[in-house]
Amino acid sequence: MPWVAVVLLVALAFAGMQTASADQTLTRTLSVQLSTGDSLVVQSNRESIEQVFVQGNFSATNMTRPAHYPVSDYEIQAFNPGSFELRFIFNYPTEYQINLLTRSSNPSSPGNSTTYYLSGGSFELDVSAIFNARLNAPPIAVPSLSPWDSFLQWIGKFGEAFPLWVKGLYLALGLQFFVVGGLWIARESKRKESAGQRFDLGDKAYLWLDVVYKFLVVSFSAIIAIMGGELLLLFVLRFMFLASLDLLSLWDLFVVGFAAGAIIIVYLIRFGLEKVFDLKPVEDE
């Protein structure tokens, strides 16, 4: 009957609207007033912060720069007046809470806090943070780092560019080459001394450089083998067995380039020592 078709169409349309509304990301907008030197902190009881977008003047700003997402907290602190537009994308399969708070640099000033509860799914929080100049107060000096602290901070950020499995591979192979290389140099030193000769400081430096070169070559080969093996496995599963396997991508062009560059640099130094200073204390047999 015609009325049955109308009822079915209305029911299908209503179900489609419910599905579309369920798939739509929940969004909230918030404006926050702060003073220079204050901090805006976003915290979650789960690692639900998947993406962060920040627009503003970063000349005198401290902000969280995690190496990998998702994370559970984010903080930004500005020392010059200005405004920042921040967008946070959250997502977690089960329930989680989000707490947005302002942390004042003045201990006597209380901070503000806003909490969101979600039963699960995605959530977008758009924050307009305005940092106003602090009245009747001396200007806040931007914390300066000593050259040593700056170097350590640079080392930490540089290390964050390497995945955990690459760090573990370098550490494991490095310990093995250090131990085996030390034993090999000690054995060669005893063999030289038994022949009435001895290694000087330049000879030992060349031998250790040779150990480092071989360590870098083996590490590079292992990295290429692991990355290439994963790509080959995914290719075989996808195009031969029509199976899609969701694996953590191990391919990293920066790691490959760094490993290759380190090999070239050490090889050139080793080659220069051998040709310029005639250093090759152990002849190849």
Torsional class of 98: left (φ above 0), alpha (ψ -120 to 50), beta (otherwise)? beta
Q: Exposure string (b/e) for 228-255, b if CB count within 10 Å is 16 or more?
A: eebeeebeeeeeeeeeeeeeeebebeeb
User: What does the pLDDT look like over 209-258, one tens digit per residue?
Assistant: 888 999 999 999 998 998 888 788 877 877 776 766 655 566 778 888 88
**DSSP helix/strand/coil, 159:** helix
Calpha distance 90→71 (Å, rounded): 10
pTM higher than 0.75 for the full model?
no
Residue 159, pLDDT above cutoff 80? no
Q: Compute the radius of gyration of the chain from its Cα atoms.
A: 29
Calpha distance 171→139 (Å, rounded): 46
How far from 283 is each of 188, 211, 212, 275, CA to CA, in Å?
11, 15, 18, 14
Q: What rounded mean pLDDT belongs to the chain?
A: 79
Structural domains in the chain plus CATH codes: 25-144 (2.60.40), 164-276 (no CATH)
Q: Are 166 and 252 in contact (CB under 8 A)?
A: yes
Q: Which residue has the tokens 């220079």?
A: 36
Query: What would the two tokens of residue 284 be?
Result: 């190849």
User: What does the pLDDT look like over 164-174, one tens digit per residue?
Assistant: 888 889 999 99
Calpha distance 71→39 (Å, rounded): 18
Q: Which pLDDT value is given to residue 21?
A: 44
- The closest of 144, 138, 99, 145 to 118, measured between CA atoms, is 99
User: What does the pLDDT look like over 112-157, one tens digit per residue?
Assistant: 788 899 988 899 999 999 988 877 655 555 555 567 666 667 677 7
